[in-house]
Chain A
Amino acid sequence: MMKIAVLIKQVPDTDDVKLDPETGTMIREGSGTIINPLDLNAIEAAVQIKRHRKDDCEITVLTMGPPNAQFALREALALGGDEAVLLTDRKFAGADSWATAKVLAEALKKSGKYDLVLAGEKATDGETGQVGPEVAAMLSMPCATYVSAIEHNENNVVVTRTVEDGTEKQRIQFPCLITVLSALNNPSMPTLRGKMNSRRANIVTMTSQDLDIKSEELGLKGSPTRVVKVTTPQKTRKTKRYSGSQIEEGIRELVEEIKTSVLNQ
């Protein structure tokens, strides 16, 4: 039976988030959490492969996060996942992309022998896009990023990578890891049966004690990078507002600036 793992992340719902008009910073209070949008495309890809294989396929969803990340896992199960693994431990806290990838890579080793590992290209909160390729490297797996189409075969996948100046087609043998773009598919909504099953489903929890990772490689302590300073950038733009009868004057000023400082005429 084919085994697929999907790596997901629970992120703040940025569509919910408003900007503070005074400071320009995000107002995070009251905003909910969601599965990172691109991870939904990864789950959908797994579900489609499973359907294509007439259910001869098992999908395991993994996430590292606080205990409440189990809600993201339950949603993933409702969408078609078979098993869920929650990696949670205070010692994982403060992990950068390397230390996150380390936990996920070791959990993948522990939880099964996967043919295919899928993940979103990047998360909307951290936005590094690094964890996927780092996990692959730690598992010595080939990795394809920015994937917008997957054609799956018995022992390999043919993927289309959407890059800056075109598209690349690559055939990659299993086991491999793929990070996906939203252009890949349209994620489906959870089914009622899926929702019912997911409520009852058993979520496997793993902590640092279940993984073969040295304590100095865990969480903040195990992160090669450190955030040393956080600043809120000053709003530097002097917004010129035009409405009603001022609009024509505004357009004249704008056209003048375009002429001189953008087009150098």
Chain B
Amino acid sequence: MNPSVMVYTEIRNGSIHPVSYELTGKARELADKLNSEVVVVTLFNKLEEKVEDLFSFGADRVIVSQDECFRLFNQEIHTNVMSALILQEQPQIVLAPATTGGRTVLPAVAGTIHTGLTADCTGLDIEEESDLLLQTRPAIGGNIMATIKTPHHRPQMATVRPKTFKIPEKRSASGVVEPFYLNDDMKQTTIEILDYQPLEAGAENIQDKDIIVSGGKGLKRKEGFDLLKQLADILQGGIGASRPTIEAKWMEYPHQVGLSGKVVSPKLYFAIGISGAVQHIAGMETSEIIVSVNKDPDASIFQVSDYAFCGDLYDIVPKMIEQLKEKLAKPVSDKEGESHV
């Protein structure tokens, strides 16, 4: 068997984050081309799901490290454990989520064990003649795609944003769950975790939303976001905002979409009164459907839109709200099972 493809899973608040299944599925595809196996690493204190679920998404082996020290995230311990596991398992590839966790731990691992790491890959494949991992990522604000290789260092490591790859179909499969016990060196840390505060009720991470309604300076005033909230509420969507509106304090930072805020990729994205600075477009252009409303017929945002409405947003958005209220079969908010994260 050739060296493995390893996946670092994201466990959030005692639950396996879906990106872990997405990466396990992608790792399966790569491992099949390489005639190797998929090793999935899970570090947790308590877990809602069964780790055996990971087999049905493509894992051959699941390494489980269950320890009180994983109750709250400590990047130093995660780095120690991942570095130790990589030395033990000698995988040829490591995939990790491009979340605040993965984007903290993996660079630290890369610096520790001296190998390459490619951030935010949108495509991963194996080059046939060399069996090397081809890592594709957007560069310079998403206008260029760069394909990157790690020719000589091992493992070849990449982070991938949530929702980049589809969760594979579940299949019936079984495999080996292997415990991994931490030694005192791995638990050695100078970081003391004092507190964790979940987002307030009602506040939500817009990166988890299927629909986002974003506003820009074209709203002209802070209260413009009230109109966008009406639109978002009908669709059970989240609110996004451009950087200038955050700087003007019309909206809070967690809502900022763009290079200096959050990168989002929902099914439906509304850019309302947003002209489309490169820094904003890079944060939303991978959305499935993009709808923009702008007064300026030359606004850059129209170039990346599926639906481009040129006109006064205070005229167009109320019409959208009215049509949606009339045509939607039932309020989306009646759907069950989506109440919290």
Interface residues on chain B, size class: 35 or more
A126 to chain B: closest residue by CB? B139
Query: Is A128 in contact with chain B by the CB < 8 A criterion?
Result: yes
Would you give the 0/1 interface string for B139-181, flagging 1 where the beta carbon is closer than 8 Å to chain A? 1110111111111110000000000000000000000000000
Task: Tell me the B100-125 residues at the A interface (CB within 8 Å).
Answer: 100-101, 103-104, 106-112, 114-120
B281: chain A residues at CB < 8 Å are 19
Task: Tell me the B11-39 residues at the A interface (CB within 8 Å).
Answer: 12-13
B339: chain A residues at CB < 8 Å are none
Within the complex, which residue of A21, A25, A136, A231 is in contact with B108, where a contact is CB–CB below 8 Å? A136
Across the interface, do A168 and B303 meet the contact criterion of CB distance under 8 Å?
Answer: no
Across the interface, do B149 and A19 meet the contact criterion of CB distance under 8 Å?
Answer: no
In the bound complex, what is the Cα–Cα distance between A254 and B281 (angstroms)?
Answer: 21
B250: chain A residues at CB < 8 Å are none
Across the interface, do A242 and B139 meet the contact criterion of CB distance under 8 Å?
Answer: no
Query: Is A193 in contact with chain B by the CB < 8 A criterion?
Result: no
In the bound complex, what is the Cα–Cα distance between A116 and B307 (angstroms)?
Answer: 48
Would you give the 0/1 interface string for B212-231, flagging 1 where the beta carbon is closer than 8 Å to chain A? 00000000000000000000
B144: chain A residues at CB < 8 Å are 25, 230-233
In the bound complex, what is the Cα–Cα distance between A138 and B146 (angstroms)?
Answer: 27
Across the interface, do A263 and B303 meet the contact criterion of CB distance under 8 Å?
Answer: no
Across the interface, do A134 and B191 meet the contact criterion of CB distance under 8 Å?
Answer: no
A144: chain B residues at CB < 8 Å are 75, 191
Expressed in whole angstroms, the minimum distance between the Cβ of B330 and any Cβ of chain A is 8
Across the interface, do A142 and B189 meet the contact criterion of CB distance under 8 Å?
Answer: yes
Across the interface, do A250 and B309 meet the contact criterion of CB distance under 8 Å?
Answer: yes
In the bound complex, what is the Cα–Cα distance between A135 and B67 (angstroms)?
Answer: 28
A265: chain B residues at CB < 8 Å are 328-330
A251: chain B residues at CB < 8 Å are 309, 316, 319-320, 323
Query: Is A57 in contact with chain B by the CB < 8 A criterion?
Result: no
A205: chain B residues at CB < 8 Å are none
In the bound complex, what is the Cα–Cα distance between A121 and B30 (angstroms)?
Answer: 31
In the bound complex, what is the Cα–Cα distance between A62 and B31 (angstroms)?
Answer: 42
Residue of A19, A171, A183, A241 ringed by the most chain B CB atoms within 10 A: A19
A164: chain B residues at CB < 8 Å are 12, 99-100, 205, 207-208
B198: chain A residues at CB < 8 Å are 165-166
In the bound complex, what is the Cα–Cα distance between A262 and B153 (angstroms)?
Answer: 43
Would you give the 0/1 interface string for A75-98, flagging 1 where the beta carbon is closer than 8 Å to chain B? 000000000000000000000111
Given A237-B290, A262-B267, are A165 and B341 also a contact pair (CB < 8 Å)? yes
Query: Is A182 in contact with chain B by the CB < 8 A criterion?
Result: yes
Interface of B (DSSP majority class): mixed
Expressed in whole angstroms, the minimum distance between the Cβ of A251 and any Cβ of chain B is 5
Within the complex, which residue of A24, A127, A161, A248 is in contact with B119, where a contact is CB–CB below 8 Å? A127
Across the interface, do A127 and B191 meet the contact criterion of CB distance under 8 Å?
Answer: no
In the bound complex, what is the Cα–Cα distance between A258 and B307 (angstroms)?
Answer: 12
Across the interface, do A239 and B306 meet the contact criterion of CB distance under 8 Å?
Answer: yes
Query: Is B277 in contact with chain A by the CB < 8 A criterion?
Result: yes
In the bound complex, what is the Cα–Cα distance between A171 and B76 (angstroms)?
Answer: 12
Across the interface, do B278 and A26 meet the contact criterion of CB distance under 8 Å?
Answer: yes
Across the interface, do B150 and A242 meet the contact criterion of CB distance under 8 Å?
Answer: no
Interface size of A in residues (CB-CB distance below 8 Å): 91
B259: chain A residues at CB < 8 Å are 14, 122, 124, 127
In the bound complex, what is the Cα–Cα distance between A129 and B106 (angstroms)?
Answer: 11
Given A143-B75, A183-B253, A241-B302, are A247 and B309 also a contact pair (CB < 8 Å)? yes
Given A144-B191, A169-B195, are A26 and B143 also a contact pair (CB < 8 Å)? yes
A163: chain B residues at CB < 8 Å are 73, 99-101
Given A165-B12, A254-B291, are A137 and B193 also a contact pair (CB < 8 Å)? no
Within the complex, which residue of A142, A166, A243, A248 is in contact with B196, where a contact is CB–CB below 8 Å? A166
A18: chain B residues at CB < 8 Å are 300
Query: Is B310 in contact with chain A by the CB < 8 A criterion?
Result: yes
Expressed in whole angstroms, the minimum distance between the Cβ of B121 and any Cβ of chain A is 11
B311: chain A residues at CB < 8 Å are 243-244, 247
In the bound complex, what is the Cα–Cα distance between A240 and B303 (angstroms)?
Answer: 10
Across the interface, do B278 and A134 meet the contact criterion of CB distance under 8 Å?
Answer: no
Given A127-B120, A130-B110, are A247 and B306 also a contact pair (CB < 8 Å)? no
B146: chain A residues at CB < 8 Å are 227, 229-230
Task: Tell me the B44-74 residues at the A interface (CB within 8 Å).
Answer: 72-74
